[in-house]
Structures are given as structure tokens and as C-alpha cells.
Amino acid sequence: MTEQTEKAVPAAEAPLPRGEEPAAEGHRIAPLRGELSNTAAFFWGFTCIAGVLAVWFVITAGPPGEAEKRMVSPTTLPSVAETFQAIPRVFGERKLVTNTLVTLKRVCLGFGLSCIVGVPLGILAACLPALRAFLAPLMVFGRNIPVAALIPLTFFFFGIGEFQKVMFLFIASVAFVLSDTAAAVLDVPQRYVDTALTLGASRWQIITKVLGPLAAPSIFNSLRLLFGLAFGYVMLAELVKFGSASGGLGDLINMSQRRGEREPILLVLVIIPMVAWAIDRALWWLQSDLFPYRYGGAGLIPRFCGWLLHGRRTEFRP
Amino acid sequence: MTGAAPDNSPESPGSVRPAPVDPPGDGRPAAVEFRGVTKIYNEGTSREAVAIRDVSFTIPDLPDKGEISTFLGPSGCGKSTVLRMVAGLEPQFPPTRGSVHVLGREVVGPGSDRGMVFQDYTSFDNRTVLGNVTFGLECRGVPKRRREAEGREWIARVGLDPRRDAAKYPHELSGGMRQRVAIARTLVLRPRIILMDEPFGALDPATRLDMQDLLVRLWREVEATVMFITHSVEEAVYLGDRVFVMATTPGRIAAEIRMPAADAPAREAQVEPWFHEQVNQLQAQLEAIEAAASRPGN
Ligand SMILES: Nc1ncnc2c1ncn2[C@@H]1O[C@H](COP(=O)(O)OP(=O)(O)O)[C@@H](O)[C@H]1O
Ligand SMILES: [Mg+2]
């Protein structure tokens, strides 16, 4: 007995710490789904950017004037320095800022139209099963339509002006807006509807006072993500053009391609995601501020609107 | 009244309080009446399930007083089904067979004359406490100034601070506070029937006792009929003027027991000997019913 225990104790003790150590270590360095400190997050992000730039730098490096000695020829990929030297040209001659604004205006119009049509219709579709079934084929069709094939079609229908681009975006995105909105409303737990019913709410009041507002944070979140999608679509529409220059980022890329310039295209590729990211962050801030109870924002806009609407009569929270 | 066993009288040695007797019928319609109600889900399919079978009971409408009826029973015996039928909520409503009457009228759907408090928190997240409490009045079209004044009054009555808490959002509240809001939101509409489906089930014991006191106090004020589902025998005894014990497969009412009214606060009443006596007696009865239900061949 004693012998056995004496043997068993070290035998049992020895592997335990050894077995636990790597687990504990792993827990510290890479906690599963855990939070990372800002510094660490910045470090890893920076490492990624630096890594990409380094690879780019190495494969395009070579003595000046001897382009054929580079690993990748400059006609395929210009060097880092060459690309960044093109910055003034892209901002000046190619009017990057103006073209970005032209593109943004188109996204806002087309996607805005999608929202104006898709959100109310989506809420109604979620509430009325017959309408939902009626719209179901359109949603399936609209979500799976080959977007590129839509472009020539919209030229036939809507001409070659601004209207065509707006309508293209509308057709390409409205089905997503509609079905995401309907899904958000259907996701609101039934107990809220039951509660409202026992408090005497009518069917219409349940839609406008309960389902709509409770689904609003999810709807806004979907719209924010879909905005990014629309931003990509519109450039596709701008790439295809008839006749004169139509402006926009797609057009800028098109023009550079015809002139055989790679640097502006690369720069646009770098700048566009940054613009898209900035817009996304701005929308996220708006979202968390509009729905503080869901995303923990400060609620400045709702409070400001409340103050505008009701003035001194509202009580302020400290 | 179904299933009232003869030995249901709570009077026994140690029981200080006599059980009340039903007041003489004065022709008033019952507050709630079930007449042979059966509910079968998915009838005629392979997923057919009998929730309750042939349930009949009556809760009288005591003038200027009202009664608290508590419903006790194992999970799945149809307590929520009964309550939601009174509320007129789908899919429990309408009954497969039989009829449900409230104050002499057959239930045809939900309405604010029957308020309901759920176990799950159902505060509207996008509304402040005040916005939640005034929701029903808003639906009725009561002008903003008046409904907010009334809302603040009720926020105070359920033990919240109208100055500090009115502008808070539900996610800033504790579970107990959320249920206080749910109660205020229901009572501000002055319902004649108040339905509560395990409203304090998710609360810690101390909060639960506070909420029981609150409920009794408010109930005396509004003089409504309360139907209260609970898992806790203590809660059923303390709150109940009448306890319905339910049994399962199929869901039915196994016993209806009159209880003496407890007039002391929950913390005091629930340590008194008569209270323990009552709880033990009911507990034994509950176990006997469950044992009978689970006996093979039953
Ligand atoms: N919507 C439904 N569809 C099918 N069966 C249901 C539904 N709701 C409840 N049931 C069944 O009816 C029985 C009673 O349910 P319920 O009234 O919720 O019981 P309790 O509240 O006493 O726990 C249970 O067996 C449950 O599975
Ligand atoms: Mg239940």
C-alpha cells in the first residue's frame, strides 16, 4: 500500500505540471477568442502591412535603369517607390478626390434608393407571410443574379448616364437589403410581440412601435455591411462605359489601364479600401451612437434629437 | 370546480388561521372560468401532443378585492398553456375544445384588460423605463404629458426612483428592477386580470421576497384577480388565496386548495410555524400527486 502510494504520487504529480504548462502558456499567448491589448493588436496589424510591403519591395528591387534585372518586371508590377511617386499625379491630373466623391454620390443614391424601398418592404414582408411568400422568388433571383450580366441590361433600360449607374446599384442591392431586413424582424423574439399584445397594442402599432424599433440595430448593421458591397459594385459599373468619360473611381482605373499605367491602379487599390474602411468606421460609430442599448455607444444623437424635439421638458441623464 | 379533494382544508394542529370560505354567490360572473378546455398541439399529425385535457375551474370575482390564485406543478403540465389561453395568446389560444371566459365574456384574443408579466425579461430595449411603463398608454393614444405623469407615479409605486431610474434603459437595470418595470407597465393599464408566468423565477431569493411583498401591496391597491405560476411551494402558499395543483400527462388540475391569507410581510410570514405547516402539507400533496401520475399504467 505505502509503496504503491509513494510510487503513485510522484508518477501522478510529475506529468501534471508538464501537462498543464503548455496549456497555460497557450492560454496566455493566444487566448481562444480572447481580447488583445491595443498595442498587441496594432503590432500584429503593422507586421502584416510591413510584411506585404517587404515582399513587394524585394520582388521589385533592382539597380536603377536596369529593370530587366528585377525579379518581377516593372511592366507587371512597378516598385514601391515608383508607385508612391505617382501619388501627386493621381491626386492632381487624375482628380482622385473628385472621382471618389462622384463614386460615393452614386453609391449613396443607388444604395439609398435600395434602403428606402427595401427596409419598409422587408419589415412588411416579415410581418405579412403572404407578402413574404410573394416576394420570395424576387429575393432568390435578386440575391443570386450575376451582377456583371446586369450591367449591359441596365444600359438598354436606363441609358448611359448617371441614372443607369444608380439603377444598376439599386437592382444589385435591393434584394439583399430586403431579405436582411426581413430576417432581422423575424429574429425579434416572439415574447416582445406577446407582451405588446397584452398591453393592448394593435397590429400596426406592433409593427411600428415594437418590431421595427427592436429590429433597427440589426437592420442598420446589415446596411453597413451591404454598403461595402455596393461600393464594390458601383466601381464595376463604372469600369464598363460607352462614349465619354463618366467619372468615378472605376473610370479612373479604366483610363489608367488604357494608357498602360500601373501605378495609379495600384494606388487606387490601396486607397479605396482605406476609404471604405473609414466609411465603415464612421457608420459603426453612428450605429453604436444611435443604439447605445445594443452597441454601448454614448447616445449623443438620440439625446440631441430628443432635446431638439422636446426641449426643456425632457429630463437629462447625468 | 374539479378535483378538490376532501382533505384539502388547511386547518390542522398548528394552523393558526382559518381558511376563508367562498363568499355567497351574488350573481357576478366569475373572473376566470375554464369550461372543459382541452389543448392538443399539432392535432392529427405525428407530432400531436396533448398539453391539457378537459380542464375546468372557476376563479370568482370578489368585489373590491380580487384574489391571487397560484398554479403549481411539474414542468410541462400545461401551466403556461392555461395562462396564455386566458391572455388569448397564440398558439395556446384558441383551445382545441372547450371555452375560456373572463368576467362573463368568452376570450376571443389578447387585450389590455388582461395584463401579463413573463419570466423572460420583455422590456423593450429601445425604450427607457418611462417609455416602457407608458407603452400601453401610448398605444391607447393618451397624450404624452398625461401618460408620463401617470408613468412616473407607477415607477414610484413599484419601488423605483422616478428621478433617477425613469430615463434609464433596460440594459442598465438588474433582473429585479426589470420585473418591477414589467409590473408597472402592466398595472398602469388597470387590468382586471393579471397573469404572471413565473415572474420571479429568475431572481435571487432575497429579491424574490421583496417582489412578493411588492406584488401583495400592489394587488391590494388595484383589487385585481391575479393568476400566478410558480415552481416554489413557499411562493404558492404565501401569495395564494387559492392554489391549483396541476399534474402531467395529460395536463390537468389535480387539486384546488384554499389558503389562509398571509397578511405579514414575506420575510416575517415565511418563518411562522403555520406557514411551514402549510408548505409541508402542500409539498406532501404535490409528491403524492406526482407519484400517482408516474405509477405504471396510469
Ligand atoms: N407550441 C407548442 N407546440 C407543441 N407542444 C407544445 C407547445 N407549447 C407547449 N407544448 C407542450 O405542451 C405541454 C405543456 O406546456 P406548458 O404549458 O408550457 O407547460 P408548463 O408551463 O407547465 O411547463 C408540454 O408538454 C409542452 O411540450
Ligand atoms: Mg411554463
Residue B209 pLDDT > 60:
yes
Cα(A151) to centroid(ligand 2), Å: 55
Rounded mean pLDDT of A84-102?
85
Residue B25 contacts by C-beta under 8 Å, 6 or more apart in sequence?
A: B60
* Ligand 1 pocket residue status of B230, Cβ below 6 Å: no
* Ligand 1 pocket residue status of B227, Cβ below 6 Å: no
pLDDT recorded at residue A11: 43
One-character DSSP codes across A62-102: --TT-GGGSSS-TTTS--HHHHHHTHHHHHTTT-HHHHHHH
Is residue A199 a contact partner of residue B135, using CB atoms and an 8 Å limit? yes
B79 alpha carbon, closest ligand: 1
Interface of chain B toward chain A, CB-CB under 8 angstroms: 84, 87-89, 110-112, 114-116, 118, 120, 122, 124-127, 135-136, 138-140, 163, 166-171, 185-186, 189, 195
Residues of chain B with C-beta less than 8 angstroms from the C-beta of A316: 167
First to last CA, chain B: 23
* Tens-place pLDDT, residues A248-301: 888 888 888 888 888 888 888 888 888 889 999 999 999 999 998 888 888 888
pLDDT recorded at residue A14: 45
Q: Cα–Cα distances in Å, from B169 out to A292, A309, B118, B158, B177?
A: 9, 19, 19, 17, 11
Residue B222 pLDDT > 80:
yes
Looking from the CA of residue B246, the nearest atom of ligand 1 is 22
φ, ψ at B97 (rounded to 5°)? -140, 155
Residue among B40, B41, B229 to mutate when testing ligand 1 (max atoms within 8 A of CB):
B41
φ, ψ at B55 (rounded to 5°)? -90, 125
**Strands B97-102, B193-197: pairing kind:** unpaired
Which grid coordinates belong to B254?
A: 389535480
pLDDT recorded at residue B34: 92
The total number of residues shown for chain A amounts to 318
* Tens-place pLDDT, residues B103-141: 989 999 999 999 999 988 899 999 999 999 999 999 999
| Between B180 and A298, residue with greater pLDDT | B180
Interchain CB distance below 8 Å, B110 and A197: yes
Residue A285: alpha-carbon gap to chain centroid: 13
* Tens-place pLDDT, residues B7-48: 444 433 333 444 454 554 567 788 999 999 999 998 888 888
Looking from the CA of residue B74, the nearest atom of ligand 1 is 22
Looking from the CA of residue B39, the nearest atom of ligand 1 is 12
Helix A212-239 and helix A96-127, axial crossing angle in degrees, nearest 10: 140
Is residue A198 a contact partner of residue B89, using CB atoms and an 8 Å limit? yes
Strand partners, B257: B243
Cα(B81) to centroid(ligand 1), Å: 7
Rounded mean pLDDT of A238-245?
70
Residue B242 binned pLDDT confidence (cut-offs 50, 70, 90):
very high
* Ligand 1 pocket residue status of B251, Cβ below 6 Å: yes
Residue A204: alpha-carbon gap to chain centroid: 33
* Tens-place pLDDT, residues A100-142: 898 899 999 999 999 999 999 999 999 999 999 999 999 998 8
Residues with Cβ within 5 Å of ion ligand 2? B 80
Distance separating alpha carbons of residues B231 and B249, to the nearest angstrom = 18
**Protein residue with its CA nearest to atom 2 in ligand 1:** B41
Which of A305-309, B2-6, B86-90, B150-154 is predicted least confidently?
B2-6
Residues of chain B with C-beta less than 8 angstroms from the C-beta of A292: 169
Q: Would you tell me which residues 206-265 of chain A have a C-beta closer than 8 angstroms to some C-beta of chain B?
A: 209-210, 213-214, 216
Domains and CATH numbers, chain B: 32-123+173-294 (3.40.50.300)
pLDDT recorded at residue A81: 85
Name the amino acid, one letter, at B219: W
Q: Cα–Cα distances in Å, from B246 out to B71, B229, B243, B287?
A: 7, 11, 10, 12
**Strands B242-247, B68-72: pairing kind:** parallel
pLDDT recorded at residue A20: 47
Residue A13 pLDDT > 70:
no
* Tens-place pLDDT, residues A149-179: 888 888 888 887 888 889 999 999 999 999 9
How many CB contacts within 8 angstroms connect chain A with chain B?
76
Domains and CATH numbers, chain A: 97-253 (1.10.3720.10)
C-alpha neighbours within 13 Å on the C-beta side of residue A234: 33
Distance separating alpha carbons of residues B243 and A91, to the nearest angstrom = 80
Nearest to A199 among B89, B125, B139 (CB): B139
Residue B5 contacts by C-beta under 8 Å, 6 or more apart in sequence?
A: B255
pLDDT recorded at residue A191: 94
Interchain CB distance below 8 Å, A194 and B114: no
pLDDT recorded at residue A164: 87
B136 min Cα distance to partner chain A (Å): 5
B39 alpha carbon, closest ligand: 1
Residue A4 pLDDT > 70:
no
Residues of chain A with C-beta less than 8 angstroms from the C-beta of B129: none
pLDDT recorded at residue A17: 46
Nearest to B166 among A192, A213, A315 (CB): A315
Residues of chain B with C-beta less than 8 angstroms from the C-beta of A205: 139
A190 alpha carbon, closest ligand: 1
Q: Is the ipTM of this complex over 0.95?
A: no
Distance separating alpha carbons of residues A204 and A181, to the nearest angstrom = 18
pLDDT recorded at residue A143: 87
A180 min Cα distance to partner chain B (Å): 20
Helix A129-144 and helix A96-127, axial crossing angle in degrees, nearest 10: 150
From the list A310, A200, A217, the residue with the least C-alpha distance to B167 is: A310
Which of A3-17, A39-53, A267-281 is predicted least confidently?
A3-17
Residues of chain A with C-beta less than 8 angstroms from the C-beta of B125: 214, 293-294
DSSP 3-state assignment of A139? helix
Alpha helices per DSSP H over chain A = 2-13, 15-29, 38-59, 80-85, 87-91, 96-127, 129-144, 147-158, 162-187, 190-198, 203-205, 212-239, 249-258, 263-290, 292-295, 300-310
Nearest to B126 among A191, A196, A213 (CB): A213
- In SS3 terms, chain B reads as CCCCCHHHCCCCCCCCCCCCCCCCCCCCCCCEEEEEEEEEECCCCCCCEEEEEEEEEEECCCCCCCCEEEEECCCCCCHHHHHHHHHCCCCCCCCCEEEEEECCEECCCCCCCEEEECCCCCCCCCCCHHHHHCHHHHHHCCCHHHHHHHHHHHHHHCCCCHHHHCCCCHHHCCHHHHHHHHHHHHHCCCCCEEEEECCCCCCCHHHHHHHHHHHHHHHHHHCCEEEEECCCHHHHHHHCCEEEEEECCCEEEEEEEECCCCCCCHHHHCCCHHHHHHHHHHHHHHHHHHHHHHCCCC
* Tens-place pLDDT, residues B257-286: 888 877 778 788 788 888 888 888 888 888
Looking from the CA of residue B81, the nearest atom of ligand 1 is 17
Is residue B107 a contact partner of residue B88, using CB atoms and an 8 Å limit? yes
Phi-psi region of A243 (alpha: psi -120 to 50; beta: other; left: phi over 0): left
Distance separating alpha carbons of residues A83 and B248, to the nearest angstrom = 77
Q: Sign of dihedral through CA atoms A128, A133, A137, A140?
A: positive
φ, ψ at A162 (rounded to 5°)? -60, -40
Strand partners, B244: B71, B256
Strand partners, A27: none
Residue that is written with C-alpha cell 413574404 in the block: A132
